């Protein structure tokens, strides 16, 4: 199997090696680690299992039954050269041992200490259908220059088979009709934009659904490709208090997020079916709420 690496520029996340003290007063050294999350963007197969299979138990997150168009939270992983396999989850097949051993991907990748990564299963599982299922590993960089009144959002085009697209980012209450220049033009499949600074949306009872919408079109067109997503909701977030840190979202200043454009599911396949999966969608992933409330 082959693996494709799409790497963004990197800003260090700070050294994770430190000392922590347990309830008995004993100092414990916290080892350096990388941080990863996983996205299933394969539109023609059932749930997938992600396994680190190089013999390490600590620092080896295992993801089970990840459904098409869903993602996992960030988890720490032991850095270095690691072997990863993607399997078919056997639950839909009567927990068949033969199915559980069906491999989609077998590859290795070197994770660097203190770096963040988004791992995307991209392409098609069916034989003879391009592009073939492979891993795309993004090295995540948090924006360093956001103002307290701004958020940053990058767009990843992971809709296999959609071709290049124009991306329009507009307030959620904007009219459906599109005009003017796109926010990002001619984005190719597996293209990753930089973080776009946007004004944080208002909060409060009268504005508690205000966010941004992602509209995609064919290059040079203003005819919107339907997205199966409620563009008026997205990822709102939560304002921080003395008791709670904020949750990343459109209404929370200095939020960083990734918006992934995903394909429709293949009709008749083991991927989820129904109206919501009959058109492409946009998936909103919180990268960080950079302003934290100390307590």
Per residue in 140-170, pLDDT (tens digit) is 999 988 999 999 999 999 999 999 999 999 9
Distance CA 165, CA 282 (A): 13
The pLDDT of residue 12 is 36
Q: What is the DSSP string of the chain?
A: --EEEEE----------EEEE-TTS-EEEEPP-EEEEEEEE-TTS--EEEEE-SS--TT---EEEEPTT-BPPPEEE--EEEEEEEEE-GGGGTT-HHHHT-EEEEEEEEEPTT-EEEEEEESB-STT-SSBPEEEEEEE---S---TTEEEEEEEE--TT--SEEEEEEETTS-SS--S--SEEEEPTT-BPPPEEEEPPP-SGGGTT--EEEEEESTT--SEEP-SS-TTTS---B---SSSPPBPSTTSTTEEEEEEEEPPPPTTSSS--SGGGSS-EEEEEEEEE------
The strand pair at 34-41 and 150-157 is best described as unpaired
CATH number, residue 72: 2.60.40.1120
CA distances from 135 to 81, 113, 284 (A): 15, 20, 19
Q: Are residues 155 and 286 in the same domain?
A: yes
Same domain (yes/no): 156, 254: yes
Lowest-confidence region among 68-72, 243-247, 287-291? 287-291
Residues 63 and 157 in one domain: no
The residue segments making up the domain with residue 244 are: 145-295
State pLDDT tens for residues 22-33.
556 666 666 789
Domain final residue pick, 141, 167, 191: 141
12 and 103 part of one domain: yes
Tokens matching residue 59: 């620092």
167 strand-pairing partners: 184, 216
**Residue 164 shares a structural domain with residue 274:** yes
Please state, in angstroms and rounded to a whole number, the distance separating the CA atoms of residues 130 and 71.
Answer: 23
127 with 205, same domain: the answer is no
Q: Which of 141, 156, 182 is the last residue of a domain?
A: 141
Strands 134-140 and 3-7: parallel
- Using CA of residue 89, residue 93, residue 96, residue 101, what is the dihedral sign? negative
Chain centre distance of CA 125: 20
Q: What is the pLDDT of residues 36-45, one digit of tens each?
A: 999 999 999 9
Interval 104-116 mean pLDDT: 96
Strand 165-171 to strand 184-187: parallel, antiparallel, or no bridges (unpaired)? antiparallel
Residue pair 154/194 in contact (Cβ under 8 Å)? The answer is yes
User: Is the pLDDT score of 234 beyond 80?
Assistant: no
Look at the chain and report how many structural domains it folds into.
Answer: 2
Domain boundary among 141, 168, 200: 141
Does residue 48 contact residue 121 with C-beta atoms inside 8 Å? yes
Residues 41, 110, single domain; the answer is: yes
Q: Are residues 165 and 287 in the same domain?
A: yes
Residues 228 and 152 in one domain: yes
What does the pLDDT read at residue 295? 41
Q: Are 157 and 110 in contact (CB under 8 A)?
A: no
- 204 Cβ contact partners less than 8 Å away, ≥ 6 residues apart: none
pLDDT in tens, 115-143: 999 999 999 999 999 999 999 999 999 99
Tell whether 156 and 209 lie within a shared domain. Answer: yes
Closest by CA to 169, choosing from 185, 188, 150, is 185
Across 117-121, 224-228, 289-293, least confident range? 289-293
- Cα–Cα dist 111/37, whole Å: 13
Token representation of residue 220:
């040079």
30 and 160: one domain?
no
Same-domain status, 132 and 156: no
């Amino acid at each position: 199997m082959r693996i494709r690496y799409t790497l963004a520029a990197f800003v260090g996340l700070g050294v994770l090696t430190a000392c922590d003290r347990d309830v008995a007063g004993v100092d414990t050294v916290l080892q350096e680690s990388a941080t990863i999350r996983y996205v299933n963007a394969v539109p023609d197969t059932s749930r997938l299992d992600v396994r680190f299979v190089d013999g390490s138990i600590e620092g080896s997150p295992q993801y089970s039954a990840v459904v098409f168009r869903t993602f996992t939270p960030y988890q720490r992983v032991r850095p270095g050269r690691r072997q990863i396999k993607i399997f078919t989850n056997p639950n839909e097949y009567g927990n068949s041992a033969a199915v559980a051993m069906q491999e989609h991907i077998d590859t290795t990748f070197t994770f660097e200490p203190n770096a963040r990564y988004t791992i995307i299963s991209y392409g098609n599982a069916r034989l003879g259908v391009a592009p073939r299922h492979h891993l795309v590993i993004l090295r995540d960089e948090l924006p360093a220059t956001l103002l307290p009144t701004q958020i940053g959002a990058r767009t990843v085009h992971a809709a296999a088979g959609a071709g290049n697209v124009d991306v329009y980012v507009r307030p959620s209450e904007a009219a459906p009709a599109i005009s003017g220049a796109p926010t990002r033009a001619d984005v190719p499949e597996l293209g990753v934009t930089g973080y776009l600074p946007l004004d944080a949306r208002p909060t409060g009872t009268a504005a508690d659904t205000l966010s941004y919408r992602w509209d995609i079109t064919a290059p040079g067109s203003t005819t919107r490709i339907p997205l199966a997503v409620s563009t008026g909701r997205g990822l709102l977030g939560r304002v921080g208090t003395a008791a709670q840190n904020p949750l990343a979202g459109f209404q929370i200043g200095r939020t960083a997020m990734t918006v992934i454009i995903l394909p429709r599911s293949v009709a008749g396949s083991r991927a989820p079916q129904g109206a919501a999966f009959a058109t492409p969608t946009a998936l909103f992933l919180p990268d960080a709420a950079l302003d934290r409330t100390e307590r």
